[in-house]
Amino acid sequence: MSDYTKYTKQEMQAYAIAKNIKENQIVIVGTGLPLIGASPPKRAVCPSCHPIVESGLMDCSPVGVPRSVGDNRFMAHCAVQWPNVRFIGFEANEWLHDADRLVAFIGGAQIDPYGNVNSTCIYGKGDYVKPQTRFTGSGGANGIATYCNTIIMMQHQKRRFMEQIDYITSCGWMDGPGGREKVGLPGNRGPQMVVTDLGIMKFDEKTKRMYLAYYYPFSSPEMVQENTGFEVDVSRAELMEGPGPDIIKLIREEIDPGQAFIKVPKE
Amino acid sequence: MNKVYSLHDAVAKFVESGDCISFGGFTTNRKPYAAVSEILRQGQTDFTVWAGPAGGDWDMLIGEGRVKAYINCYTANSGYTNVSRRFRAAIEKGELTYEDYSQDVLMLQLHAASLGLPFLPVRLMQGSGLVKYWGISEEQRKSLEKVDDLKCVEIENPFNPGEKVIAVPVPKLDTAIIHVQKASPDGTCIIEGDEFHDVDIAVAARTVTVTCEDLVSDEYIRRDPTLTRIFGQCVDAVVHCPYGAWPSQCYNYYDNDSHALKEYDKASKYQDAEDAKAQLQKAAAKAEKAAAAKPDDEKLAEAAAKAKKAAEDAAAGTVIPETFKDYLDKWVYSVKDHDELLDKVGGSRLMRLKNEPHLGYSTRH
């Protein structure tokens, strides 16, 4: 598709991620969409950011699209190749030092109104020990959600946005204000927003419940509510404009030309 | 001291059924696949596993029923298979005894083992299912000799009264297996690129087997001691094993074999032919139901016809898709050793995986 004025839902999502990375931020990325989202800032929008990955590779600037966080593509183009335990120590010390430089992207299968995320299993008729659907497990997500402000990536579907999720892999705001402190988690860290293919949710300062902050040119507040399994406040929602052709060209031609993570529809 | 063994002899001598074991590498990077294949061929079983960030290595051993207790933080050939399929199937069928920690905690546990710590306090996992739910119950743990009696305990920080932290046990590893770029006969190792948790498990485990791309002399490996990562006295066996991490990556040497990882992704959907027949039957029934619900939808009708044909072909035995068993027969059991495997993969295919030095990976495969 050589028409850069048209873009897909996924490209919009990647752009929404890119817009939320600020100058000099240290950005924890995984593979997939977050990586694509973090690439335009590194290349064009915000070259001063520092992408890092949970395997311990710091200040990554991959040329090819990595398929895993331990990929040679990260390893060959980074500043430091730390073992994973150094990464863990670094994120914990950022919090201990009261530094506010980190932002992290995590994903999951289910999310509740307080931004608690499940990436372990879906019970169905079973339970944790014998679930209907099993996923990979935490990976680095639990530790990241403990010490860092997070941006959560989700597909916007009713069965994923639930009042009650089966299992909390990565803690959000727990059950509301003060919830994190109660269980021993840093209270001044937590989910900042949820970026989906339909919009951007943020968390109310008082209640810590999710509300719709932005919808996209191709979505609407009604669509968001229809695809959310709990009541979501849409009264504050604003329209977010889509990406310009220069960003779309960058994503398609330079960042993911092989369409490893962002599929471009055929004309 | 010369610790050089053949792959067969190293695995026969240093890997025993019932071992508490950990492998080096990270999902699809520097995984000790040649050693895994040799274990599969020799038959060792009943492992208690500290898996680390695992992929096809442990998925194959789980699929073959060699795991007694699986301590997990992440299992996927990421970028190829979102969740390792035999791992997933074994859990969904209730056939795998497993426990979850976060990756951070599990890696810190392996690090704590390398430091010889008695237990480890962490400010992680609090409030999450990782503390609340135990995959292996306290009662079950008492009957498993190599599994700690408790998953974790909430304790108070003695130096900061009132602060709750989580105490976790430290692994007691019998065996570690790692694949490195260079090793010498006395066991000294050079790891190029990220060391991951490999140095930790090499220090912590009672016996350590190293497979290496290049076997170099003890003098040569000491030419630049800034590059060496593992003290030879930690190591019991050194095995010269070029492409020993295939089909995963090995930094400065080769890239993933994406064809093999894609083949494994597809094949590992089905445990064996019977499982393939049953799953295809189920898929056909589901597709038929979906099509019947929307009779005007041509795409659904087409998909249902296709699924029906696949199920019929499988049932009749005319076309059965490649299964996990087939994959293992092809790439593990039908070859007697690693040399035969390399011949089977083929020279040109291996050459295409070679890292392009200016990139650090390969664009040719």
B342 has pLDDT over 70: yes
In a domain, B22, yes or no: yes
Indicate which residues of A carry an active-site annotation: 54
From residue B188, how far is each of B1, B13, B236, B241 by CA, in Å? Answer: 11, 20, 11, 16
Q: Give the chain B residue whose CA is nearest to the CA of A123.
A: B92
A44 has pLDDT over 60: no
As a whole number of angstroms, the distance between CA A59 and CA B8 comes to 41
DSSP A16-31: HHHHT--TT-EEE--S
Beta partners for residue B237, in sequence order: B209
As a whole number of angstroms, the distance between CA A98 and CA A188 comes to 9
In a domain, B40, yes or no: yes
Output the average pLDDT for chain B. 97
As a whole number of angstroms, the distance between CA B242 and CA B126 comes to 43
- Which residues from B are below 8 Å from A57, CB to CB? 194
Q: By residue range, what is the domain housing residue A41? A: 9-254
Tell me whether residues B359 and A64 touch, CB distance under 8 A: yes
Instruction: Mark whether B129 and B277 lie in a shared domain.
Output: no
In a domain, B155, yes or no: yes
Q: Which of B26, B127, B200 sits opposite A185 (nearest CB)?
A: B127
Which among A147, A33, A139 has a CA at the least distance from the CA of A95?
A: A147
Instruction: Mark whether B293 and B263 lie in a shared domain.
Output: no
Q: Which residue type is seen at A169?
A: T
Q: How far is B76 from chain A (nearest CA, A)?
A: 6
A264: Cβ contacts below 8 Å, ≥ 6 apart: A1, A8, A252
In a domain, A76, yes or no: yes
In a domain, B179, yes or no: yes
Q: Using 50, 70 and 90 to split pLDDT, how confident is the model at A247?
A: confident
As a whole number of angstroms, the distance between CA B157 and CA B123 comes to 10
As a whole number of angstroms, the distance between CA B91 and CA B100 comes to 12
Instruction: Say whether residue B76 is in contact with chain A using an 8 A CB cutoff.
Output: yes
| pLDDT score for A254 | 79
B337 has pLDDT over 80: yes
Instruction: Say whether residue B23 is in contact with chain A using an 8 A CB cutoff.
Output: no
Q: By residue range, what is the domain housing residue B277? A: 273-316
Q: Using 50, 70 and 90 to split pLDDT, how confident is the model at A227?
A: very high
A120 has pLDDT over 80: yes
In a domain, A134, yes or no: yes
Q: Which residue type is seen at B17?
A: S
Q: Number of folded domains in chain A? A: 1
- Which residues from A are below 8 Å from B105, CB to CB? 142-143
Q: Using 50, 70 and 90 to split pLDDT, how confident is the model at A47?
A: confident
| pLDDT score for B286 | 96
In a domain, B29, yes or no: yes
Mean pLDDT of B120-139: 97
Instruction: Mark whether B34 and B100 lie in a shared domain.
Output: yes
B102: Cβ contacts below 8 Å, ≥ 6 apart: A138, A139, A140, A141, A142, A143, B73, B124, B125, B128, B130
ipTM above 0.90, yes or no: yes
Tell me whether residues B73 and A139 touch, CB distance under 8 A: yes
Q: How far is A239 from chain B (nearest CA, A)?
A: 33
In a domain, B39, yes or no: yes
| pLDDT score for A33 | 67
What is the sign, positive or negative, of the torsion defined by CA atoms of B253, B259, B260, B261?
positive
Q: What is the DSSP letter of B29?
A: B
Model confidence over B180-220: pLDDT tens digits? 999 999 999 999 999 999 999 999 999 999 999 999 999 99
**Secondary structure class of A256 (helix, strand, coil):** coil
Q: Which of A30-44, B9-23, B274-288 has the lowest mean pLDDT?
A: A30-44
Region for B350 from its dihedrals, namely left if φ exceeds 0, alpha if ψ lies in -120 to 50, beta otherwise: alpha
Model confidence over B141-178: pLDDT tens digits? 999 999 999 999 999 999 999 999 999 999 999 999 99
Instruction: Say whether residue B139 is in contact with chain A using an 8 A CB cutoff.
Output: no
Q: Using 50, 70 and 90 to split pLDDT, how confident is the model at A61?
A: confident
Instruction: Mark whether B247 and B278 lie in a shared domain.
Output: no
In a domain, A261, yes or no: no
- Which residues from B are below 8 Å from A182, CB to CB? 127
Instruction: Say whether residue B108 is in contact with chain A using an 8 A CB cutoff.
Output: yes
| pLDDT score for A64 | 82
Instruction: Mark whether B185 and B224 lie in a shared domain.
Output: yes
| pLDDT score for A34 | 65
| pLDDT score for A122 | 97
**Residues of B (24-53) whose Cβ lies below 8 Å from A:** 25-29, 53
In which residue are the tokens 């599990």 written? B106
Instruction: Mark whether B213 and B227 lie in a shared domain.
Output: yes
| pLDDT score for A43 | 59
As a whole number of angstroms, the distance between CA B174 and CA B18 comes to 9
Domain stops at, among B242, B271, B300: B271
In a domain, A174, yes or no: yes
Model confidence over B261-291: pLDDT tens digits? 999 999 999 999 999 999 999 999 999 999 9
Instruction: Mark whether B246 and B278 lie in a shared domain.
Output: no
What are the helix and strand counts (H, E) for chain A? 8, 14
Model confidence over B226-243: pLDDT tens digits? 999 999 999 999 999 999
- Which residues from A are below 8 Å from B249, CB to CB? 71-72
Phi, psi of B73 (to 5 degrees): -130, -20
Mean pLDDT of B83-91: 98
In a domain, A263, yes or no: no
Residue B260, domain CATH = 3.40.1080.10
As a whole number of angstroms, the distance between CA B59 and CA B64 comes to 9
Instruction: Say whether residue B227 is in contact with chain A using an 8 A CB cutoff.
Output: no
As a whole number of angstroms, the distance between CA B61 and CA B39 comes to 9
Task: Evaluate whether A172 touches A145 at the Cβ level (below 8 Å).
Answer: yes
Instruction: Say whether residue B161 is in contact with chain A using an 8 A CB cutoff.
Output: no
In a domain, B111, yes or no: yes
Q: Which of A64, A140, A167 sits opposite B133 (nearest CB)?
A: A167
As a whole number of angstroms, the distance between CA B329 and CA B333 comes to 5
Task: Evaluate whether B59 touches B87 at the Cβ level (below 8 Å).
Answer: yes
| pLDDT score for B194 | 97
Instruction: Mark whether B186 and B253 lie in a shared domain.
Output: yes
Instruction: Mark whether B226 and B296 lie in a shared domain.
Output: no
As a whole number of angstroms, the distance between CA A107 and CA A97 comes to 26
Residue A151, domain CATH = 3.40.1080.10
Instruction: Mark whether B67 and B180 lie in a shared domain.
Output: yes
Q: Which residue type is seen at B179?
A: H
- Which residues from B are below 8 Å from A168, CB to CB? 127-129, 132
In a domain, A265, yes or no: no
Which among A56, A57, A53, A64 has a CA at the least distance from the CA of A78?
A: A57
In a domain, A4, yes or no: no
B123: Cβ contacts below 8 Å, ≥ 6 apart: A92, A146, A184, B165, B166
Q: Number of folded domains in chain B? A: 2
As a whole number of angstroms, the distance between CA A14 and CA A200 comes to 12
Torsion angle (degrees, nearest 10) of CA B343, B359, A79, A48: -140
Q: Give the chain B residue whose CA is nearest to the CA of A166.
A: B129
From residue B235, how far is each of A112, B2, B239 by CA, in Å? Answer: 48, 11, 11
- Which residues from A are below 8 Å from B124, CB to CB? 142-143, 146
Instruction: Mark whether B186 and B304 lie in a shared domain.
Output: no
How many contacts, defined by CB atoms under 8 Å, are there between A and B? 190
In a domain, B59, yes or no: yes
As a whole number of angstroms, the distance between CA A27 and CA A101 comes to 8
Instruction: Mark whether B224 and B300 lie in a shared domain.
Output: no
| pLDDT score for A37 | 62
Model confidence over B30-67: pLDDT tens digits? 999 999 999 999 999 999 999 999 999 999 999 999 99
Which of A81, A136, A169 should be substituted to probe chain B, the one whose Cβ sees the most B Cβ atoms within 10 Å? A136
Q: Using 50, 70 and 90 to split pLDDT, how confident is the model at B365?
A: confident
Q: Which of B100, B197, B255 sits opposite A138 (nearest CB)?
A: B100
B248 has pLDDT over 80: yes
Q: Which of A64, A66, A88 sits opposite B108 (nearest CB)?
A: A88
- Which residues from B are below 8 Å from A60, CB to CB? none
| pLDDT score for A42 | 60
| pLDDT score for A20 | 84
Model confidence over B98-123: pLDDT tens digits? 999 999 999 999 999 999 999 999 99
As a whole number of angstroms, the distance between CA B227 and CA A81 comes to 13
